[in-house]
Structure 1
Amino acid sequence: MKDWLQSYIAAQHRAVDSVPLDAVAKATETVRTAWENDRQIFAIGNGGSAANASHFATDLGKGSSDAVGKRFRVQSLTDNLAWITALGNDYSYDDIFLRQLQNFARSGDVLITASVSGSSPNLVKAFTWAKENGLHTIAMVGAKRGKLADIAGQVIVVDDTHYGRVEDVHMHIFHMICYAFMEKTA
């Protein structure tokens, strides 16, 4: 067991070390610009990435807002279970983020996601709509990159395909974005 744990941690270190810091800095600047211009920031994801999107919106909306004194207009579109299930049931699960964006998003807003595969149909559909409607788009993906890497305006690739490791690193990136404001470096 100890050998496996050491191997897992070593692989996790490699995944963290693969983070393209210039891309994270650019994403942080996109979030800053949205904040300065009173634009909305939407976070989406599936499974563990949905939880990460929710965590990001909480940290940016509370911790970062408290630190900078001006509120971030941020929400995770993964959090309204009634709306998600109504959209999934009445239309398609592929539309659960797209249809929420159609209600809330405007040109100049920001859409950010974390997706290990980069090819989840509901994320691809939301990003396609966002691109067509003038939103700034940021996709954090795993080594497979997927369709999101071709659609998103900004892409942050974690060079690993292990779901747990990549999801952990995506949360590191979400934290880096938030803490850049909390620690007043952004």
Structure 2
Amino acid sequence: MAELSDPTDHFKDYSARLAQTLQVFDWAPVKALAEDLFGCWQEKRQLFLIGNGGSAGNANHLANDFMYPLSKTLGSGIRAHALTENPAVLACLANDEGYDEVFTYQLAVMANPGDILLAFSGSGNSPNILKALDEAKRRGVKSYAVVGFGGGKAKTMADVAIHFPVDDMQIAEDTQTILGHMIVQWLYKHRHHVTAA
């Protein structure tokens, strides 16, 4: 049996690759997202988050963060909905309409013009993500797509693409959470500009 390599070497390499991805990134589209989310918060519009696999987990996680930790004040938070969080709805839509439609049917019921869609996708090519971006456009919902690798079709379909060109699914998914946490902390600094309900 081959001897195991030292995991510390791998951890150092992973850390370096993640740091390099962030250090060379143009943060302009993330700035735009942060400012749009502040407006969404002030005006009590809705934020919808979507993704598959690990990106679905990140959508759930950040829906929580945008709803409560950015303010920690009763009645103050972004009206955030992870369209990945209800297994009954997902199973129903996947069974009846096909998995490609699990997000579009939810948006069609809940979204209003002026809301925001935040899509997470490593490849940028998941059919249900692309269909949701198309549905968002039809409904006057501004869309952001956080993508890795080459960006896929989502890079051109979203109103604003946040593209981390890294060929590593784990680092691509890390960037989703990192930018979410960055924005949450920035919003928290400005929580006093937003009136609670």
1:161–1:67: structure 2 CA closer, same or farther, 3 Å change rule? Answer: farther
What residue is the counterpart of 1:51 in the other structure? 57
Secondary structure class of the residue paired with 1:63: coil
Q: Which of 68, 74, 84 in structure 2 is aligned with 1:62? A: 68
Q: Which of 82, 102, 122 in structure 1 is aligned with 2:128? A: 122
Asked if 1:134 corresponds to 2:135, the answer is no
On the 8 A contact 2:149/2:168 being kept in 1, the answer is: no
Q: What is the root-mean-square deviation of aligned Cα atoms in Å?
A: 1.7
| Offset of residue 114 of structure 1 | 1.3
State how far apart, in whole Å, the 1-side matches of 2:73 and 2:16 are. 34
| Greater helix share, structure number | 1
Secondary structure class of the residue paired with 2:124: coil
| Offset of residue 69 of structure 1 | 6.3
Secondary structure class of the residue paired with 1:161: coil
On the 8 A contact 2:68/2:76 being kept in 1, the answer is: no
| Offset of residue 142 of structure 1 | 0.6
State how far apart, in whole Å, the 2-side matches of 1:76 and 1:90 are. 20
State the TM-score, normalizing by the size of structure 2.
0.89
Map 1:70-109 to 2 at 5 A.
Answer: 70-109=76-115
Answer with 34-43 or 78-87: which moved more. Answer: 34-43
Answer with 174-183 or 163-172: which moved more. Answer: 174-183
Q: Which letter maps to 1:173?
A: L
Structure whose CA Rg is larger: 2
Identity score, percent: 34
On the 8 A contact 1:128/1:151 being kept in 2, the answer is: yes
1:15–1:144: structure 2 CA closer, same or farther, 3 Å change rule? Answer: same
State how far apart, in whole Å, the 1-side matches of 2:21 and 2:174 are. 9
What residue is the counterpart of 1:23 in the other structure? 29
Secondary structure class of the residue paired with 1:144: coil
Secondary structure class of the residue paired with 1:155: strand
Secondary structure class of the residue paired with 1:122: helix
Answer with 51-60 or 175-184: which moved more. Answer: 175-184
Asked if 1:157 corresponds to 2:163, the answer is yes
State how far apart, in whole Å, the 1-side matches of 2:73 and 2:188 are. 5
Q: Which of 135, 144, 150 in structure 1 is aligned with 2:150? A: 144
Question: Greater relative contact order (Cα 8 A, min sep 6): structure 1 or 2?
Answer: 1
